[in-house]
């Protein structure tokens, strides 16, 4: 059996990347993801890898772009404001169709953030794309340290398989919570060779390789680039949707939640069940592609939906779109946080505890 | 099976940055790794390194841990001048509160919880270093609940503090752990 260690989600991300063969990391420090570059800066040189602390996130993302063009497994990690700075580069990587992995350990709020370290307020940006040009990225949302480790291996595999960017979305809670992680190496199907990669000056079939941004390559009217990308995205939708359904077969209330909020919601479902209330949990693991059909089916079976997210309401939009008005969709958002009284303790800005979710569930199931 | 072990323990340790609330929480989680299938350690802290609010939640369980934090914990260790009222109200009926009454402005009013009032800072100072107060608290918690054996915590501590300079500190920390267990009245 693989070694079992107590590490936090951030370290699990870093270890997972290394176990996937990532030896190149480019990043810039920002809370709450600093444990990732810290680990990488210490460990990558030991295995012949490269760690670069760039001058800013806009530079990190282009270093990732360059490494990906050379065919290496490369990554960066950041938190919300840094992720915004990367949008231009992300759009370019998407256009060039080179595989890479970017981790966003969210922190709450627009701009510099609003003090509290936890929050899930980047959902819309990460799933819909903050850059220009109608590209798509696969988005994985781990909810445990083990999943952080496993999802990094999956992320590199999916990136290579489809030649897309894979974004791994966590937050302060998932990043800093420590849990036992089994350091297991996951098995995946064989991948095609990276014959497109730019490696030195080697000639291919007697011709010098010349890389041009993908969208220009396709030409045509209507632009064949979009037709090609639509096919790629459809393939991803057909085979890569992942989710977890928990105690939802006979549920009369479907709780939909992801990441750290799903941990709290899962506990709330158990508490509700202990009271005889038939609640179940639906947890999207891929936020894009979003498990639309599965959500709709589970929602219709239950007849009622409660979305729980530590945000003013972003996931709820995807859920409503999936459910198509067939059943009512309620939201327990950031206002559902318990705020401590009589002091500035417990993080000050509050947390959505399982008990707060249970209270909401009681009103609906 | 350890003394008093029931397969599930949850604890919030609250203090101010620098008091070592996170240190003993993480230590408990590390020690819990050998006896429990599932462990979570969730630190929650502000931007300030010292003096800011600092809190962690530890869960040790034989079953999958679905939540990772809770509004109503079974046990709370309050270090220093952490807000007593807030946590006193939240503890589950039949739960456990460990705090330093000599530093608290108010009294505990609840009668449906077990209260251990421990002058941890004074005890640690008498042992040679007031900064070991966190270990007095942890010792008391271990003795009161049997969640993990103090020896396991000592082992983890020895691994973490391995190296010459920390020998005195290690010795004081271990004494503080024992002293806390003794004073909890059940150790």
pLDDT digits 0-9 by tens, A295-353: 999 999 999 999 999 999 999 999 999 999 999 999 999 999 998 765 444 445 789 99
Number of structural domains found in chain A:
2
State whether the Cα torsion A223-A225-A228-A231 is positive or negative.
negative
Q: Which of A20-24, A30-34, B74-78, B84-88 is the least confident region?
A: B84-88
Q: What is the DSSP letter of A334?
A: G
pLDDT at A276 over 90: yes
Are residues A255 and A145 part of one domain? no
The fold for domain B8-182 equals Pyruvate-ferredoxin Oxidoreductase; domain 3 (3.40.920)
Of A89-93, A123-127, A140-144, B1-5, the poorest mean pLDDT is in: B1-5
Report the alpha-carbon distance of residue A358 to residue A279 in Å, rounded. Answer: 10
CATH number, residue A250: 3.40.50.920
Of A160, A182, A204, which residue sits at a domain end?
Answer: A182
Q: Are residues A10 and A159 in the same domain?
A: yes
Mean pLDDT of chain A: 93
Residue A202 falls inside a structural domain: no
pLDDT score for B3: 44
> What is the CATH classification number for the domain harbouring A29?
3.40.50.970
Nearest to A349 by CA among A105, A119, A81, A31: A119
CB within 8 Å: A348 and B46: yes
Q: Which residues of chain A neighbour B38 with C-beta distances below 8 Å?
A: 179-180
Say what the pLDDT of residue B18 is: 86
Q: Which of A180, A260, A269 sits opposite B33 (nearest CB)?
A: A180
Q: Give the percent of chain A with pLDDT over 90.
A: 82
Nearest CA in chain A to B15: A345
- Say whether both A173 and A254 belong to one domain: no
Sorted by where each begins, the domain ranges of chain B are 8-182
- The answer to whether the Cα torsion of A28, A29, A34, A38 is positive or negative is positive
B78 pLDDT more than 80: yes
Structure confidence at residue B1 (pLDDT): 36
Q: How far is residue B52's CA from residue B38's CA, in Å, rounded to a whole number?
A: 30
pLDDT score, position A250: 97
- Give the model's pLDDT for residue A115: 57
Residue that terminates a domain, selected from A131, A151, A182: A182
Interface of chain B toward chain A, CB-CB under 8 angstroms: 14, 26, 29-30, 33, 37-47, 53, 55, 65-72, 82-83, 85-86, 89
Phi-psi region of A129 (alpha: psi -120 to 50; beta: other; left: phi over 0): left
Domain boundary among A159, A182, A205: A182
Mean pLDDT of B155-172: 82
Domain that holds residue A40: 4-182
What pLDDT score was predicted for residue A231?
Answer: 96
User: A149 and A259 share a domain?
Assistant: no
Whether complex ipTM tops 0.90: yes
Per-residue pLDDT, averaged over B47-66, amounts to 85
Distance CA A189, CA A109 (A): 39
Q: How confident is the model at residue B2 (pLDDT cuts 50, 70, 90)?
A: very low
CA distances from residue A108 to A103, A126, A141, A167 in whole angstroms, order as listed: 16, 14, 16, 18
Domain-embedded: residue A235? no
């Amino acid at each position: 059996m693989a070694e079992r260690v107590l590490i936090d989600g951030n370290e699990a991300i870093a270890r997972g990347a290394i176990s996937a063969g990532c030896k190149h990391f480019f990043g810039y420090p920002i809370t709450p993801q600093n444990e990732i570059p810290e680990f990488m800066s210490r460990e990558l040189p030991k295995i012949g890898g490269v760690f670069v602390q760039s001058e800013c996130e806009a530079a990190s993302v282009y270093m990732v772009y360059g490494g990906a063009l050379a065919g290496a497994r490369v990554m960066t990690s950041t938190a919300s404001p840094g992720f915004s700075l990367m949008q231009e580069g992300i759009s370019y990587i998407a256009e060039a169709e080179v595989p890479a992995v970017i981790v966003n350990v969210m922190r709450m709020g627009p701009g510099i953030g609003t003090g509290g370290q936890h929050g899930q307020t980047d959902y819309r940006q990460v799933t819909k794309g903050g850059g220009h040009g109608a590209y798509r990225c696969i988005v994985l949302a781990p909810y445990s340290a083990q999943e952080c480790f496993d999802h990094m291996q999956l992320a590199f595999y999916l990136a290579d398989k489809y030649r897309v960017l894979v974004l791994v979305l966590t937050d302060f809670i998932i990043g800093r919570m420590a849990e036992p992680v089994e350091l297991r190496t996951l098995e995946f199907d064989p991948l095609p060779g990276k014959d497109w990669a730019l490696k030195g000056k080697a000639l291919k079939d007697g011709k010098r390789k010349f890389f041009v941004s993908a969208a220009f390559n396709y030409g045509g009217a209507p632009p064949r680039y979009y037709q090609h990308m639509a096919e790629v995205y459809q393939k991803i939708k057909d085979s890569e949707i992942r989710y977890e359904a928990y105690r939802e077969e006979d549920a009369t209330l479907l709780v939909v939640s992801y990441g750290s909020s799903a941990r709290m919601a899962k506990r709330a479902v158990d508490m509700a069940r202990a009271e005889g209330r038939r609640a179940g949990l639906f947890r999207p693991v891929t936020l894009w592609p979003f498990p639309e059909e599965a959500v709709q089916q589970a929602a219709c079976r239950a007849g009622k939906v409660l979305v729980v997210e530590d945000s003013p309401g972003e996931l709820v939009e995807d859920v409503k779109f999936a459910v198509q008005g067939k059943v009512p969709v309620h939201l327990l958002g950031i206002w559902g946080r318990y705020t401590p009284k009589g002091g500035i303790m417990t993080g000050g800005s509050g947390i959505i505890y399982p008990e707060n979710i249970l209270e909401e569930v009681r009103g609906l199931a | 099976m350890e003394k008093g072990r029931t397969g599930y323990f949850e604890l919030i340790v609250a203090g101010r940055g620098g008091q070592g609330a996170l240190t003993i929480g993480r230590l408990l989680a590390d020690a819990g790794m050998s006896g429990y299938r599932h462990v979570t350690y969730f630190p929650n802290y502000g931007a300030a390194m010292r003096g800011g609010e600092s809190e962690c939640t530890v869960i040790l369980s034989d079953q999958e841990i679905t939540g990772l934090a809770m509004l109503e914990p079974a046990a709370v260790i309050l270090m220093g001048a952490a807000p007593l009222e807030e946590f006193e109200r939240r503890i589950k009926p039949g739960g456990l509160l460990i705090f330093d009454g000599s530093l608290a402005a108010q009294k505990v009013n609840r009668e449906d919880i077990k209260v251990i009032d421990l002058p941890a800072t004074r005890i640690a100072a008498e042992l040679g270093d007031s900064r070991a107060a966190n270990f007095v608290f942890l010792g008391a918690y271990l003795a009161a609940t049997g969640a993990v054996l103090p020896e396991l915590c000592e082992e983890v501590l020895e691994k973490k503090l391995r190296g010459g300079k920390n020998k005195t500190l290690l010795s004081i920390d271990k004494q503080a752990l024992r002293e806390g267990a003794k004073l909890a009245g059940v150790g």
